[in-house]
Amino acid sequence: AETPLTVFAAASLRDAMEKIGAAFQEKTGTPVVFSFAGTGTIARQIEAGAPADIFVSADIAWMDYVDTRGAILAASKRNIAGNTLVMVGPHGSAPLDLSEAALAARLNGARLAIADPETVPAGRYGKSALGYLGLWHSVEASLAQMDNVRIALASVARGDTPLGLVYATDATIEPDVSVVATLPGESYAPIVYPAAITSVSEHPQAQAFMEYLEEPEAKEILQSFGFVTDNGQ
C-alpha cells in the first residue's frame, strides 16, 4: 500500500477530518492517518520534527508559532474553516439574553463552562467575546475552565453547569444541549482553522490534500459539522 499521508490536527476537528480523510482516500487512493491532540501539543511536536505532512491548527497563534520556527512551508498556509461561538444550556433551556443580569440569574451561583481562556483557543475567543460584551468581569470568578470540549458539554448536558460557551460545531453534535444564545460575530476575532504543509514533509500527495480541503466535497463535510467555510471569514 501507499505510504499514508500523516495529518496532525486539533482534536476538535476529529469527526470532520476523519470523514474528509476517508473521502480523500476514496478519491485518490492515498490513505490518510490522523493524530489528534491539543493544538499546543501538536505545535510543539511539529516544531520538534514530527513526521507529519500536514498541520491543522485550531488557532492562528500556534500556526504562527511553528511558522516563525520554520517548521511549516509558509506559502502553503491557508485557512480551511471557521467557527462561531454560542452559549448553550441543558436540552430545552430557554434562550438567554446576553446581559449581565440575565447571565447572573441563569448561573445562580453555579459556573459557566468554558474552555481554558488562556490555553485553549475556544476559551481565548470566548474570553475576548465576553470582554467585548462587557460580561467578562462579572463571570470571571464563576468560570469552569475545561480542557476538554466533551467534558464541558457533558457538564452542561447534565446540568452541573447551567451554561457553557462553546463552538457552534460542538453544539451541533451534542443532542443534549440547546443553543441559548449566539455571540455576535464582531465580539471576537474571526475563528479560523489554518492548515499548512510541514517543512519535513516529502509526501507527494501533501499538496493535493491541501487543495482537496478547499474543494466543495470537503467543504460540504465541514459544513455538515457546523463549520463555516466561506473564505470571507
Q: Which of 5, 20, 24, 34 binds another protein (CB under 8 A)?
A: 34
Residue 48 engages another protein in binding (rule: CB under 8 A) = yes
Q: Rounded distance, CA 54 to CA 76, Å?
A: 10
**Member of 30, 55, 163, 170 binding another protein (CB under 8 A):** 170
Cell triple for residue 50?
514530527
Give 206: exposed, middle or buried? Use CB within 10 Å, 0-12, 13-18, 19+: buried
Contact 73, 199 (CB under 8 A): yes
Residues binding another protein: number (CB under 8 A): 52
Q: How far apart are CA 91 and CA 73, in angstroms?
A: 44
Q: Minimum distance from CB of 122 to another protein (Å)?
A: 12
Q: How far apart are the first and last CA of the chain?
A: 38
Q: Return the HEC string of 27-62.
A: HHCCCEEEEEECHHHHHHHHHCCCCCCEEECCCHHH
User: Could you tell me the smallest distance in angstroms from the CB atom of residue 75 to another protein?
Assistant: 21
The residue assigned the cell 475567543 is: 125
Is residue 147 within the footprint of another protein (CB under 8 A)? yes
Give the binding range for another protein (CB under 8 A) out of 77-85, 94-102, 115-123, 209-217: 115-123
Residue with Cβ nearer another protein (33 or 105): 33
Question: Binding of another protein at residue 15 (CB under 8 A)?
Answer: yes
Beta carbons of 55 and 195 less than 8 angstroms apart: yes
Residue 25 touching another protein (CB under 8 A): no
Q: Which of 20, 30, 38, 206 binds another protein (CB under 8 A)?
A: 38
Which stretches of the chain bind another protein, using CB under 8 A? Answer: 6, 8, 11-12, 14-15, 33-38, 40-45, 48-52, 61-62, 64-65, 110-111, 113, 116, 118-120, 143-151, 153-155, 158-160, 170, 173-174
